[in-house]
Structure 1
Amino acid sequence: MIARPPIARRSLLALAAVGTAAVPAVRPTGHMKRPLILATGLTGAPYGIFGRRLAHEINLRDPSLDLRVRHTEASIRNLQLLGSGDADLALALGDSAADAFEGHGTFDTSERVSALARIYLNYTHLVADTQAAVATVTDLAGLRVSLGATGSGTVTVARRILSAAGVEPRVRSHYLGLDDSARALRRGEIDAFFASSGVPARAVRELADDRRVALVPMAGLARKLREEHGSAYVDVSVPAGTYGNAGEVPTVGVATFLMARDDLPAEAAYRVTRAMFGARLTLPGPEVPGAYLDERYAIGTDPVPLHPGAARYFRSVYG
């Protein structure tokens, strides 16, 4: 079953509160268009792939925009780049975005960030070598486990899952991106790895096609994470057969947000949001039905506020 968070009342109130006067009308200009830097992820990783296509589709649909991709380690680094002004837009996991806005977790102070939209749902994968006999998260104690690339939101999710299961101090942690994690597992250098991705994740599917691996269930952990860290975590299940798994595998879902500097010009934020939703049918989203680019759920970015430019777009959709 696919869980999608309801539209938060706070988001709706914030959306309604943004008056039309706050966002200037979009007018053509003869000036040279200003490039907007979109921070994504590692080149071959899900955010890197999605970000390149997103920039291409937005540029194609609005000639006033010039999105340029910057490959990074992903969520945490992306949010830091927004806060420093070295990026204008960024992809980030919802829990990391909330931490950045509120100054929690890896963020000592609040970053000046806002959200343009909730764009798709990530499924937390815990993939293990079958010889490691990992049936639950607690079985990871003493094993070599990749938590994701340093600077990625996957590391935050993985650490919180391990902590909720009571095994974090006993795991031998490694920090590798998805592709590197899959290669390391194939070579016997690690026993398991975490990954945040849409379903199916290419690297996980290729690994499962090549050798027997286990997709470890994480039933009930989303509830524990919500209790300890906020509403970003939802219960989801990887469909049967995705990676050769006989039945559904319960896990933790975390939405991806398209984020922006809070001082990004409202006109630019409006145009980016409009162009992205205009490209919804051609963007490569997760293959799980209903998990991708829907205006009814896109404003559900609490506690991160919507950028006024994005709010203008959603008002035009809701009427």
Structure 2
Amino acid sequence: GGGLASVLSSKVPGMSATAEVTGGSVDNLNLIGTGKPYVGFSMADAAKDAKDGEGKFANKKVDLRTLLVLYPNLMHVVTVDSTGIKSMKDLKGKRISTGAPGSATEVMAFRLLEAAGLDKDKDVKRERLSVAESVNAVKDRKIDAFFWVGGLPTAAVTDLANSPGMKIVMVDNAAEVAAMNKKYGNLYFAADIPKETYSGMGKDNKVSGVANILVVNANMTDDEAYKIVKAVFDNKLELVRTHKEYINVTLENQKQKSTPIAYHPGALKYFKEKNIKVN
């Protein structure tokens, strides 16, 4: 976010942008819903709920448009070997964190538990911690496992994996994708977290993924939307230096099927200039 704000402020004449710290996708989408000129990162599932006025957005639809499909966010279900947890089913009766309030991690964690046949209220003892708080709680043995959906690598998970006396275990969760898509629409996909990602992983981790997208209120002018998209591609190397996941932000990945939110006409104007067809 900070990297994007500095690029927009320094490279787009007449535009000043600042980065705000929020709880995550749900908070970002609510800010966009105010109609003020927010540009927000969101996961596709939370954005679809906002567009449809469902879930955490019941009775408060947000009129959204996509600027960019960014990169895949992958569901980490993380524990340590001393807990004996090896599968999603093993989470039953355990103390877990399903992510911070207002985060897309929480939205997806609830759906994943449901798809694994677990009741989020009855089958687990549930905390609502950020990824950094979750790692500390695992180290202090206050929780057994946590959910986190994000890019690779996530610094807090790297920290846990490198902690003395802790052997991290990454729980496979790709098998739940079909059930989630059947209920919530075609939002999720199976992916791998390669075993080289975090120290101590014995094998690739088969996980569920969701697209991370850059969204705005539909009221943003075509000119502003165009300039933001152009600035991202014109300054991609600078953005990659701030967050290496930006390497995955490509023109070829701009497909309407990858986002449940229609593209902004200003974004489409830029893609057309580059001969990119999103449909």
Compute the TM-score of the two structures, normalised by the length of structure 1: 0.80
Q: Residue in 1 aligned with 2:71?
A: 120
Structure 1 residue identity aligned to 2:222? A
Q: Give the number of aligned pairs.
A: 268
Q: How does 1:50-129 map to 2 (within 5 A)?
A: 51-86=1-36, 88-109=38-59, 110-129=61-80
Q: Residue in 2 aligned with 1:297?
A: 253
Q: Residue in 1 aligned with 2:180?
A: 225
**Cα displacement string for residues 169-220 of structure 1 (whole angstroms, at most 9, x for unaligned residues):** 3111111111111111111111111111111111101110112121111132
Structure 1 residue identity aligned to 2:129? L
| Cα distance between partner residues in 2 of 1:130 and 1:204 | 15
| Cα distance between partner residues in 2 of 1:286 and 1:73 | 19
How far 1:112 moved relative to its partner?
1.4
Assess if the C-alpha contact under 8 Å between 2:100 and 2:106 holds in 1: yes
1:241 corresponds to which of 196, 218, 222: 196
Cα distance change of structure 1 residues 159 and 268 upon mapping to structure 2, 3 Å threshold: same
How far 1:149 moved relative to its partner?
0.6
Quote the sequence identity (%): 29
Cα distance change of structure 1 residues 85 and 55 upon mapping to structure 2, 3 Å threshold: same
Structure 1 residue identity aligned to 2:45? D
1:207 corresponds to which of 153, 160, 170: 160
Cα distance change of structure 1 residues 135 and 87 upon mapping to structure 2, 3 Å threshold: farther
Cα distance change of structure 1 residues 241 and 108 upon mapping to structure 2, 3 Å threshold: same
| Cα distance between partner residues in 1 of 2:8 and 2:72 | 20
1:159 is paired with a residue whose SS is helix
Assess if the C-alpha contact under 8 Å between 1:223 and 1:235 holds in 2: no
How far 1:315 moved relative to its partner?
1.0
| Cα distance between partner residues in 2 of 1:81 and 1:193 | 27
| Cα distance between partner residues in 2 of 1:98 and 1:291 | 25
Structure 2 residue identity aligned to 1:122? N
Name the Cα RMSD after superposition. Answer: 1.8
1:281 is paired with a residue whose SS is helix
Q: Residue in 2 aligned with 1:6?
A: none
1:151 is paired with a residue whose SS is coil
How far 1:58 moved relative to its partner?
2.5
Structure 1 residue identity aligned to 2:148? A
Q: How does 1:1-319 map to 2 (within 5 A)?
A: 51-86=1-36, 88-109=38-59, 110-167=61-118, 168=120, 169-210=122-163, 211-243=166-198, 244-284=200-240, 292-300=248-256, 301-318=258-275
Assess if the C-alpha contact under 8 Å between 2:44 and 2:260 holds in 1: no
Assess if the C-alpha contact under 8 Å between 1:58 and 1:279 holds in 2: no
How far 1:299 moved relative to its partner?
3.4
Structure 2 residue identity aligned to 1:101? K
Compute the TM-score of the two structures, normalised by the length of structure 2: 0.91
| Cα distance between partner residues in 2 of 1:270 and 1:90 | 16
Assess if the C-alpha contact under 8 Å between 2:66 and 2:259 holds in 1: no
| Cα distance between partner residues in 2 of 1:122 and 1:287 | 13
Assess if the C-alpha contact under 8 Å between 1:295 and 1:314 holds in 2: yes
Cα distance change of structure 1 residues 62 and 287 upon mapping to structure 2, 3 Å threshold: closer
How far 1:102 moved relative to its partner?
1.4
**Cα displacement string for residues 126-181 of structure 1 (whole angstroms, at most 9, x for unaligned residues):** 10122111111111111111111100010000000000111123111111111111
Structure 1 residue identity aligned to 2:194? P
| Cα distance between partner residues in 1 of 2:86 and 2:239 | 35
Structure 2 residue identity aligned to 1:303? P
Question: Mind listing any 5+ residue stretches in structure 1 that lack a counterpart?
Answer: 1-50
